[in-house]
Structure 1
Amino acid sequence: MAGTSSPNSSADDLKKHVMEVFKDATKDCEDEELKRFFHTIGSSYDSLNNHAVTMFNLMVDFGLTEKAREVFKPLSDLGILSLVAVFTIVISSYHTSRKTESALKVYHRMIATGVNPASFTYTHLICVLAEDFSNVKYLRLAKKYFLETLDKGMKTNPTPFWNLMKAIAYREPLEKFKEFLQQIKAKGFILHDYGFYYKEAYLAEARETLKMQAHLVHNGTVDKDVRTYFYMKCVFPGHIQKLTNKMYTALLHDGNVEEATKFRNEVEETGMEPMVLIHTSVIKAYLKYGKPKGALEAYLAMLAAGVAPNSVTYTVLIKGLSADPDFIGDATKYLLEMMDKGKWPNAATFTAVIEGFAKQEDKAAEEEGKEFVRVMIDKGFVPNAKAMMEVLRGRPIAVIRRAMSIVLSTLKQ
């Protein structure tokens, strides 16, 4: 095997062999940025080894200690970098740069050399294949290598599983989605260990959720900034769980106990995050990049998809639209829509709209704001001046005065 050595092999010979393998694995690189990277870490054995140490420490920080030890277990008692580590470094670099074909070629070269991949090697290979929708063969290969890890008794981390499930959901019909789940279950794969709760009754919903997530990352019709945002979020384990907890907590914090209970029950019943969470995250992403028009279109797409907004959705949308004077009319429209559905805005949401009027420094906008407050009061809403002042703390004095004037003068009438 290429990954072993005789006790008589000198450390220098082994280091030289490691560098030869690294240079051979990277010689076909065409990406200029990656070329420079490979040249830097491959300038000497010590440089390559230092990079391996950095990678090892990063894996440990992410809780992948056992997998790190498997990949970076030294060659013999001389402490030389193993060849599986070399190939994994190169494949992971191609994965990070989304160079699927290059990663695949290096993997084939690795197998031809007689080096057995570690589970972390498979992680990067499966991920780069599953994340690339440019060629249908990549999904077929991602499935093949995932099943191969199971046949070898390997336990990968959740990321390749979820990336693969998203790709299948996006590219294949529900029956294929079910078929793959049955395949991996038959090989002893325990779905709930990876956060996927297999319930036949909710498989269609689970597929739609995963399909939506894949759409946000891979579909060219989605705004580039939003696609990049969701791609980066998908990289970090547990991110969706954090968003789920955050929405549930926000609903409870604002006193929306019934909505919070409904949201929690849906998560527990289906084992998946509700579509309202994903759509709300899309709206928030557009607003994060200062694109209120995109946020509004995302909200309308959410309604068209038959997904009902909850109080958090309205809060995110209204506060975001209020920040742009061109969309203050839309903000008031959706705040009133929110109330008509029996959902009451919190102080921050109401104040954001009033502040939107106040920041325009225009008498007509001020009168429009007063009329808006009157309509809200007619619907039963009672503005809380103290809560407003708390929200406005730190704003310019002139804005605070105008905002409070819009509300207080209306209350006195």
Structure 2
Amino acid sequence: MFNFMADINHTDSAREMFKPLSDLGILSEVAVFTIVITLYSGSRKAESALKVYHHMIASGVKPVSYTYTQLTCVLSTDFSKAKYLRYAKKFFLEALDKGMKLKRTPFWNVMKAIAYREPLEKFKEFLEQLKAKGFILHDNGFYYKEAYLAEARETLKMYAHLVHNHTVDVDVRSYFYMKSAFPDHIQKLSNKMYTALIVDGNFHKAIEFSKEIEETHIEPMVVIHTSVIKAYLKFSKTKGALEAYLAMLAAGVAPNSVTYTVLIKGLSANPDFIGDAKKYLLEMMDKGKRPNAATITAVIEGFAKQEDKAAEEEGKEFVRVMMDKGFVPNVKAMMEVLRGRPTAVIRRAMSVVLSTLKQ
């Protein structure tokens, strides 16, 4: 337990909790209570963790910062009862009143729970309470500007929805639950999208993307929606990925070239969705977004893998349509993408492209 706390940068809390009776080889009472609360937190049993805490207080044992961390986390991530969020906020503020320094994870969990369950006014109110108690938001990754708090709330609400709404696929929910344990995962997603835009030659779009984040200090919703599509594809749930894309459009979020790349490559990998892959690749080009060689090749390969004359002809027609739109496939780049594929697939894919280029 001590090593685990040290590994996640809770070294001071670990020393505080384990030092008192360490010379006797006996755990302190606060350590015992906190370990039990931590176990209940790990198994997402908020009611049990809350009962242990009340028993701890009734026994005259004072909680330490790590006690509050674990208690706040389990209460703010259990949406089964409204009282849990009230307790989570109460304990977070109580810890601050006692001069304790809580880490980023419980802070983010509470903020996501408020964003999901309460109106914007309550979201702003809690932030003001934190500021009044000297909690430095910037040190905890909360850089949102006052003018964009409504948008910030929507971003956090979306992440909470992915973890707690049972209409979301169970594998996807588990995936985002694990990711939410790392407060900087949102920033990492934004960095990956920015890099992908640069690599694909969309320099101006990358600059616009970066400026939007710099201005608002909010991760664009396109990042979250694209990560949802990618999560469905990670679990080979192509239909779910397509539905996630359509939900993105319904929410009024415009896909960028990275979104299209993720979606099209995922659809192309499933023979039942090759028609959709073709449709969205053409849509991508119609919107002035230039697909990279890997995206083009994925669709052509999808036709080639069917080993069917009709599919091959459909692939050729698809290449002709692309060329009519001013896009000529780069054969050399496609060969690089296909490197390592079965020879038969490479031959059929190249046949589709080269025979069309010669016409």
Q: Same fold (TM over 0.5)?
A: yes
TM-aligned CA distance change 1:268 to 1:72, over 3 Å: farther
8 Å CA contact retained: 1:103, 1:125: yes
Question: For 1:15-58, what per-residue CA distance to the aligned partner results, in whole angstroms no more than 9, with x for missing partners?
Answer: xxxxxxxxxxxxxxxxxxxxxxxxxxxxxxxxxxxxxxxx2222
User: Which residue of 54, 58, 65 maps to 1:119?
Assistant: 65
Structure 1 residue 116 displacement after superposition: 1.2
8 Å CA contact retained: 1:166, 1:210: yes
- Matches of residues 248-327 of structure 1 in structure 2 within 5 Å? 248-327=194-273
TM-aligned CA distance change 1:278 to 1:82, over 3 Å: same
Structure 2 residue aligned with 1:412? 358
Structure 1 residue 265 displacement after superposition: 1.5
DSSP-derived class of the 1:188 partner: coil
User: Which residue of 332, 336, 343 maps to 1:386?
Assistant: 332
For 2:220 and 2:354, the matched residues in 1 are separated by 40
User: Which residue of 183, 186, 196 maps to 2:142?
Assistant: 196
Structure 1 residue 347 displacement after superposition: 0.8
DSSP-derived class of the 2:180 partner: helix
User: Which residue of 364, 371, 375 maps to 2:310?
Assistant: 364
8 Å CA contact retained: 1:130, 1:139: yes
For 2:69 and 2:216, the matched residues in 1 are separated by 27
Structure 2 residue aligned with 1:181? 127
In the alignment, residue 69 of structure 1 is paired with which amino acid?
Answer: R
Structure 1 residue aligned with 2:93? 147
Structure 1 residue 240 displacement after superposition: 1.6
For 1:363 and 1:198, the matched residues in 2 are separated by 55
For 2:23 and 2:272, the matched residues in 1 are separated by 69
Structure 2 residue aligned with 1:241? 187
In the alignment, residue 273 of structure 2 is paired with which amino acid?
Answer: F
Structure 1 residue 79 displacement after superposition: 4.2
8 Å CA contact retained: 1:357, 1:365: yes
Structure 1 residue 377 displacement after superposition: 1.1
Structure 1 residue aligned with 2:43? 97
C-alpha RMSD of matched pairs (Å): 1.2
For 1:314 and 1:76, the matched residues in 2 are separated by 57
DSSP-derived class of the 1:235 partner: coil
Structure 2 residue aligned with 1:32? none
Q: What TM-score do the two structures reach when normalised by structure 2?
A: 0.98
Structure 2 residue aligned with 1:39? none
Structure 1 residue aligned with 2:12? 66
Question: For 1:234-293, what per-residue CA distance to the aligned partner results, in whole angstroms no more than 9, with x for missing partners?
Answer: 112422221111111111111111211121112222222111000001001111111111
Structure 1, unaligned runs of 5 or more: 1-54
Structure 1 residue aligned with 2:32? 86
8 Å CA contact retained: 1:347, 1:384: yes
8 Å CA contact retained: 1:191, 1:198: no
Structure 2 residue aligned with 1:18? none
Structure 2 residue aligned with 1:162? 108
Q: Which has the larger radius of gyration?
A: 1
Identity across the alignment (%): 81
For 2:267 and 2:276, the matched residues in 1 are separated by 7
Structure 1 residue aligned with 2:168? 222
Aligned residue pairs, count: 359
Structure 2 residue aligned with 1:342? 288
Q: What TM-score do the two structures reach when normalised by structure 1?
A: 0.85
Structure 2, unaligned runs of 5 or more: none
8 Å CA contact retained: 2:144, 2:152: no
For 1:349 and 1:57, the matched residues in 2 are separated by 45
For 1:131 and 1:372, the matched residues in 2 are separated by 48
8 Å CA contact retained: 1:119, 1:156: yes
